[in-house]
């Protein structure tokens, strides 16, 4: 995982976070109801969000103002061993919107038991809260792309002023 600290001005727009997290991107599943319990996360997606949070916390970031309109740019690279696929658009599952939701949630405060367990497995100085955003409702523009890549894959997260 590699991240750059932000607060750089790029094309006259402030960049708050520019982060590359290597690994296998996972999507945020829809909440499921089992009896009286509602499960909003899976162990796999929780572990992926924990990796994103760890990378962001390790690198540092500049927190935007609570009323700042933001653009979130996500470049998602899904790993494949098939050379013919590499660099091409990744058509099929997982859905792009669910991949984006997992990354957006990691910028705030992901919770739940599966997430806490995943953070614990990462060991110190893992954090359960990236705290980049108070609320992802500040994101007014979302630019996402998913493509096939050689292993390990990953995600590049760029948060800047809109």
> Per residue, what are the HEC states of 27-80?
CCCCCEEECCEEECCCHHHHHHHHHHHHHHHHHCCCCCCCCCCEEEEEEEEEEC
pTM: 0.79
Residue 24: both structure tokens together:
């296998």
pLDDT at 54: 86
Is the confidence at residue 3, as pLDDT, over 70? no
Residue 16: both structure tokens together:
């708050």
Domain enclosing residue 29, as ranges: 2-161
- Identity of the highest mean pLDDT range in 28-32, 72-76, 104-108: 72-76
pLDDT at 28: 80
- Per residue in 79-101, pLDDT (tens digit) is 998 888 888 989 888 889 989 98
> Could you tell me the CATH number of the domain that includes residue 147?
3.30.1330.70
Residue 13: its H or E element: strand 13-22
- Split into its structural domains, the chain has a count of 1
pLDDT at 92: 84
DSSP notation for 70-127: EEEEEEEEEE-S-TTTTTSB--SSSPHHHHHHHHHHHHS---SHHHHHHHHHH-TT--
């Amino acid at each position: 995982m590699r991240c750059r600290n932000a607060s750089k001005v790029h094309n006259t727009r402030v960049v708050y976070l520019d982060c590359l997290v290597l690994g296998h991107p996972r999507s945020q599943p829809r909440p499921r109801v089992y009896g009286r319990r509602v499960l909003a996360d899976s162990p796999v997606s929780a572990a992926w969000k924990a990796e994103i949070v760890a990378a962001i916390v390790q690198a540092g970031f500049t927190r935007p103002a609570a009323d700042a309109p933001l653009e979130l740019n996500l470049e998602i690279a899904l790993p494949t061993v098939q050379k013919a696929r590499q660099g091409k658009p990744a058509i099929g599952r997982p859905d792009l919107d669910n991949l984006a939701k997992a990354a957006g949630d990691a910028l705030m405060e992901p919770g739940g038991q599966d997430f806490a367990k995943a953070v614990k497995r990462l060991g110190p100085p893992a954090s359960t809260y990236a705290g980049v955003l108070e609320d992802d409702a500040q994101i007014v523009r979302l630019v996402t792309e998913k493509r096939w890549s050689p292993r390990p894959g990953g995600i590049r997260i760029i948060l800047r002023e809109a």
